């Protein structure tokens, strides 16, 4: 393996440098603000997701504070680790220099990974745990060493603490193992010990779900109604076609797992891939959930291509060029490697009549938060001391609440209150405020809660997403109701 380290190092360095440049640009995405906010309330679960991202967020804050580039280093490291694992898997599958190169290039050329490995979200870690699980599985196939089954169980347990879609990975693996040596592994007690170990690791989160009436089910239902039902019957499959060159490598790898005389010993991997694909398709999953499967397919495809080109190895470099060169144009659209003004010019975006520039959802969701927090801070500081001590900041959604919590840290703002997502679980606090700064709540909401309220400003930003433009900010007094009394009834609005 040592002789292949220079190839892996160079490819990893390329990926790392691209992300280090991109990670410092724009601002936090609304989801990143939520994930950092939950890290301030460590628990075994949250309304929207399992706890792993909160633990990583706590570590990120300990090391880097709320530095944008520091926080984003963690998904980037996960992305680099995926590239390294993909190359290691190619080696385990019998690949040599060119296969390892093609495996790494495939990860670099897969455009969605640039987005996934930039944002501080569970996605990057999910992809890492999927790839690590496949690596341990292949190591077990090759060595029959039971320690890799134990490692597989640990990976599965931690993977479930990161993202619940790992259940689908487990289903695929379980069915795939039926096709490895005629299912002999199911007679091995260590497989079941591995499963028990995974269960023990995830058990605290299961108990948390039980104690909170399984908010996961409510969240899945809301997600289905608001997003998944809008996905067409073929959208999941069609989305995979948008990356044709890396898809071709993947399909070559999938076919090789069934029909190649040397690689068909890994046909259980191919079966697992098909089970996962069709399960996600039937469940109308978002297309990016499936992206975690590609590193194992890249490794299989790279090994097969190296074999096909065994007599003309120079052609491997042509394949690598075809894979990566077309990617370069799209990198600024997947990760913010360009300053925003340069990106607007690069993408040839034109301003709307009101002067706004319409960006993609991810990029647009990185703007506007600083302006909101600065205005809230100026209002808070303008209050008399007595009012300031008994003031709360009431935010309409988790993005706005997260901005006040994370970006407001530098201003020593009080913790925000919001009925949205996990913020609801932390309640309205013990204050009985006479003054409330309302951020993002519409007129009918503040009118229902307060006798007196004054619109201070409607915040706009030329790059911000639609729902974070024309954001009303109110100073409110004389509450009609006590928040702690109505708070339990707001639970039904958590996922709206």
Is residue 439 within 8 Å of 473, Cβ to Cβ?
A: yes
Q: How confident is the model at residue 285 (pLDDT cuts 50, 70, 90)?
A: confident
- Distance, in Å, from the CA atom of 386 to the CA atom of 323, rounded to the nearest integer, reads 63
Phi, psi angle pair for 27, to nearest 5°: -145, -175
**Model pLDDT, residue 168:** 97
**Model pLDDT, residue 229:** 62
Tens digits of residue pLDDT in 53-88: 999 999 999 999 999 999 999 999 999 999 999 999
**Model pLDDT, residue 226:** 66
Min mean pLDDT across 132-146, 295-309, 316-330, 476-490 is at 476-490
Asked whether residue 477 carries a pLDDT value surpassing 70, the answer given is: yes
Report which of 343, 292, 302, 293 is spatially closest to residue 323, judged by C-alpha positions: 302
- Distance, in Å, from the CA atom of 35 to the CA atom of 423, rounded to the nearest integer, reads 11
Is residue 487 within 8 Å of 428, Cβ to Cβ?
A: yes
Among all chains, which residue has been given the structure tokens 């433009």? 469
**Model pLDDT, residue 324:** 95
Alpha carbon 287 to chain centroid, angstroms: 13
Report which of 439, 425, 424 is spatially closest to residue 392, judged by C-alpha positions: 439
More confident of the two residues 360 and 13: 13
- Distance, in Å, from the CA atom of 162 to the CA atom of 128, rounded to the nearest integer, reads 11
How large is the average pLDDT for residues 130-149? 97
Residue 448 contacts by C-beta under 8 Å, 6 or more apart in sequence?
A: 480
How large is the average pLDDT for residues 441-455? 92
How large is the average pLDDT for residues 14-43? 96
Report which of 155, 198, 206 is spatially closest to residue 51, judged by C-alpha positions: 206
**Model pLDDT, residue 182:** 86
How large is the average pLDDT for residues 42-51? 95
**Model pLDDT, residue 363:** 94
How large is the average pLDDT for residues 182-204? 95
Helical (H) or strand (E) element with 252: helix 244-259
How large is the average pLDDT for residues 290-315? 95
Helical (H) or strand (E) element with 416: strand 416-417
Residue-by-residue DSSP string for 124-152:
HHHHHHHHHHHHHHHHHHHH--THHHHHH
Q: How high is the mean pLDDT of the chain?
A: 93
Instruction: Decide the pairing of beta strands 450-459 and 416-417.
Output: unpaired
**Model pLDDT, residue 427:** 87
- Distance, in Å, from the CA atom of 206 to the CA atom of 305, rounded to the nearest integer, reads 43
Share of the chain above pLDDT 90, in %: 80
How large is the average pLDDT for residues 215-219? 85
**Model pLDDT, residue 237:** 86
**Model pLDDT, residue 496:** 76
**Model pLDDT, residue 492:** 82
DSSP helix/strand/coil, 31: helix
How large is the average pLDDT for residues 451-468? 92
**Model pLDDT, residue 228:** 61
Asked whether residue 232 carries a pLDDT value surpassing 80, the answer given is: no
Tens digits of residue pLDDT in 345-378: 999 999 888 889 999 879 999 999 999 999 999 9
3-state helix, strand, coil in the chain (%, to 5): 70, 5, 25
DSSP helix/strand/coil, 459: strand
Asked whether residue 223 carries a pLDDT value surpassing 80, the answer given is: no
Asked whether residue 437 carries a pLDDT value surpassing 90, the answer given is: yes
- Distance, in Å, from the CA atom of 434 to the CA atom of 225, rounded to the nearest integer, reads 38
Residue-by-residue DSSP string for 453-475:
EEEEEEE--SSS-GGGSSEEEEE
**Model pLDDT, residue 150:** 97
Tokens of 264: 């068909």
- Distance, in Å, from the CA atom of 205 to the CA atom of 221, rounded to the nearest integer, reads 19
Adjacent-strand bridge partners of 435: 391, 477
**Model pLDDT, residue 441:** 92
Burial class (CB in 10 A: 0-12, 13-18, 19+), 39: buried
Tokens of 302: 């790279």
Min mean pLDDT across 263-277, 290-304, 386-400 is at 386-400
Asked whether residue 227 carries a pLDDT value surpassing 70, the answer given is: no
């Amino acid at each position: 393996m040592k002789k292949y380290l220079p190839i892996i190092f160079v490819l990893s360095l390329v990926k790392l440098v691209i992300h280090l440049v991109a990670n410092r640009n724009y601002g936090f995405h609304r989801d990143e603000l939520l994930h950092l906010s939950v890290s301030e309330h460590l628990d075994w679960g949250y309304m929207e997701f399992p706890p792993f991202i909160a633990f990583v967020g706590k570590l990120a804050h300990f090391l880097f504070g709320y530095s944008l580039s520091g926080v984003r280093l963690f998904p980037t490291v996960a992305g680099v680790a995926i590239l390294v694992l993909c190359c290691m898997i190619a080696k385990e599958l019998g690949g040599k220099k060119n296969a390892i190169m093609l495996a790494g290039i495939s990860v670099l050329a897969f455009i969605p990974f640039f987005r996934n490995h930039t944002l501080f979200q569970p996605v990057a870690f999910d992809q890492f745990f999927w790839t690590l699980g496949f690596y341990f599985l292949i190591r077990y196939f090759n060595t029959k060493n039971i320690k890799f089954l134990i490692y597989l169980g640990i990976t599965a347990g931690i993977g479930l603490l990161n993202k619940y879609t790992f259940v689908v990975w487990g289903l695929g693996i379980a069915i795939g193992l039926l096709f490895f040596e005629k299912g002999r592994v199911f007679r091995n007690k260590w497989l079941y010990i591995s499963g028990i170990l995974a269960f023990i690791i995830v058990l605290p989160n299961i108990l948390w779900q039980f104690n909170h009436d399984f908010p996961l089910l409510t969240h899945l239902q809301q997600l289905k109604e608001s997003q998944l039902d809008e996905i067409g019957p073929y959208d999941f499959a069609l989305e995979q076609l948008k990356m044709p060159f890396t898809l071709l490598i993947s399909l070559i790898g999938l076919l090789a797992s069934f029909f190649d005389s040397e690689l068909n010993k890994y046909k259980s991997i191919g079966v697992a891939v098909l089970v996962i694909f069709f399960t996600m398709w039937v469940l109308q999953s978002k297309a990016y959930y499936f992206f975690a499967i590609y590193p194992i397919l890249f490794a299989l495809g790279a090994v097969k291509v190296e074999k096909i080109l065994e007599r003309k190895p120079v052609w491997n470099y042509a394949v690598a060029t075809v894979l990566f060169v077309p990617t370069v144009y799209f990198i600024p659209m997947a990760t913010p490697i360009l300053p925003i003004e340069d990106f607007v010019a690069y993408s040839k975006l034109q301003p709307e009549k009101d002067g706004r520039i319409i960006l993609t959802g991810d990029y647009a969701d990185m703007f506007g938060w600083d302006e909101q927090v600065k205005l809230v801070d100026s209002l808070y500081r303008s209050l008399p001391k007595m009012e300031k001590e008994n003031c709360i900041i009431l935010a309409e959604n988790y993005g706005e609440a997260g901005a006040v919590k994370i970006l407001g840290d530098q201003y020593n703002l009080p913790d925000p209150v919001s009925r949205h997502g996990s913020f609801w679980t932390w309640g309205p606090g013990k204050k009985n405020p006479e003054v409330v700064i309302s951020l993002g709540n519409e007129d009918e909401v503040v009118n229902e809660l307060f006798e007196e309220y004054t619109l201070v400003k409607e915040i706009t930003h030329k790059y911000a997403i639609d729902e974070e433009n024309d954001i009303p900010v109110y100073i409110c007094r004389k509450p009609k109701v006590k928040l702690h009394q109505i708070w339990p009834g707001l639970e039904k609005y958590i996922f709206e």
